[in-house]
Structure 1
Amino acid sequence: MTNPIYLALDFPTWCETKQFIDTYDLHGVPVKVGMELFYREGPKVIDKLKANNHSIFLDLKLHDIPNTVMRAMRNIAALDVDIVNVHALGGSEMIKWAKEGLLLGGTGKDTKLIAVTILTSISDQTMNEELRLNGSVNEIASHLANLSYESGADGVVCSVHETKRIKQVCGPSFLTVTPGIRLNQSDKNDQRRIATPLEARKQGSDILVIGRSITKAENPKKAYEQALEEWNRGYESGNC
Structure 2
Amino acid sequence: MPRPPPRLFVEPGLGHALITTADAFLEPGFDRWSGDYGIGYGDGATALVLHHLPGSEGGRPADLILHSVATVAAPRLERMHRGDDPFGPAARSLGPKVDIRRTKKAFLQAEGMEAFTGTSAASLRSAVESCLVGAGLSATGDAPLRYVVAPRLGRKTIDLAYAPVLTKLTGAQLLRPGDDTGHLGAGDAAASLAELRTGRLLGPGEYALVVSAGAGFTWSCLLVSGT
TM over 0.5: no
Q: As a proportion of its length, which structure holds more helix?
A: 1
Higher relative contact order (CA 8 A, sep 6+): 2
- Compute the TM-score of the two structures, normalised by the length of structure 1: 0.26
Query: Based on CA coordinates, which of the two structures has the bigger radius of gyration?
Result: 2
